[in-house]
């Protein structure tokens, strides 16, 4: 004697369990990873663009205020971009002088007029620090992720300018 079992309800329960235990967490994890990767890429790009801007624009002060202002105005799109202007994400600009004899570097400073031929550093480092990623993680009940500092160092570019004479050649 054979009994016929109705398995329609069992399949529905199994599908609901598979969705709850597998598909939904994987989808949420994919969203979180994508947002983290997007933010990471934006911050790395911002430090590179800021260093390139500093390398191609004249030195104005020890703090690099012109570079910080440019970075705040021209940051790539990412979820926490407003934190740049509020100061929650710190931008630091450091100019360097290099001694070719001793192979050492020292902080650059200049007492002459900014944007003059006498005030030309050798390189610049732009860094970002103090950022905590917390968008998607807090929804899942996880603590904020402390993002490491990003920095980029590049040589100053003169675009054909001779710092000794202050004359630019094409």
Residues facing residue 3 across a β-bridge: none
Q: Which two tokens stand for residue 145?
A: 């992720």
Q: What is the pLDDT of residue 123?
A: 93
- Specify the pLDDT at position 160: 58
- The reported pLDDT for the residue numbered 170 is 41
> For 134, which DSSP code?
-
pLDDT of the residue at 4 = 63
Contact 131, 147 (CB under 8 A): yes
pLDDT of residue 151: 94
Closest C-alpha to 51, from 127, 158, 113: 127
What is the rounded CA–CA span in Å between residue 129 and residue 90?
5
CA angle centred on 93, ends 91 and 94, rounded to 5°: 145
Chain centre distance of CA 58: 23
Q: What is the pLDDT of residue 98?
A: 92
Q: Is 130 helix (H, G, I), strand (E, B) or coil?
A: coil
pLDDT attached to residue 67: 94
Six token digits for residue 94: 């450091």
Could you tell me the two tokens for 121? 């550093």
Give me the helices (H) in the chain, please. 8-18, 24-56, 65-73, 82-86, 135-139
- Across the 170 residues of the chain, what is the mean pLDDT of every consecutive 10-residue run? 64 80 84 86 93 90 91 87 85 93 91 82 93 76 83 83 54
- Please give the pLDDT value at position 142: 77
DSSP H or E segment with residue 87? none
pLDDT value of position 3: 61
């Amino acid at each position: 004697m054979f009994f016929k079992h109705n398995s329609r309800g069992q399949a529905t329960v199994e599908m609901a369990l598979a969705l709850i235990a597998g598909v939904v967490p994987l989808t949420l994890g994919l969203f979180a990873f994508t947002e983290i990767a997007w933010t990471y890429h934006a911050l790395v790009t911002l430090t590179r663009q800021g260093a390139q801007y500093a390398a191609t624009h004249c030195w104005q002060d020890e703090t690099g205020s012109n570079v910080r202002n440019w970075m705040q105005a021209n940051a790539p799109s990412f979820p926490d971009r407003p934190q740049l202007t509020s100061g929650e994400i710190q931008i630091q600009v450091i100019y360097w002088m290099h001694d070719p004899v001793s192979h050492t570097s020292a902080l650059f400073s200049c007492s002459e007029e900014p944007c003059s031929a006498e005030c030309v550093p050798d390189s610049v480092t732009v860094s970002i620090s103090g950022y905590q990623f917390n968008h998607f993680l807090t929804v899942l009940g996880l603590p904020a992720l402390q993002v490491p500092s990003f920095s980029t160092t590049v040589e100053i570019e003169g675009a054909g300018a001779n710092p000794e004479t202050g004359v630019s050649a094409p």
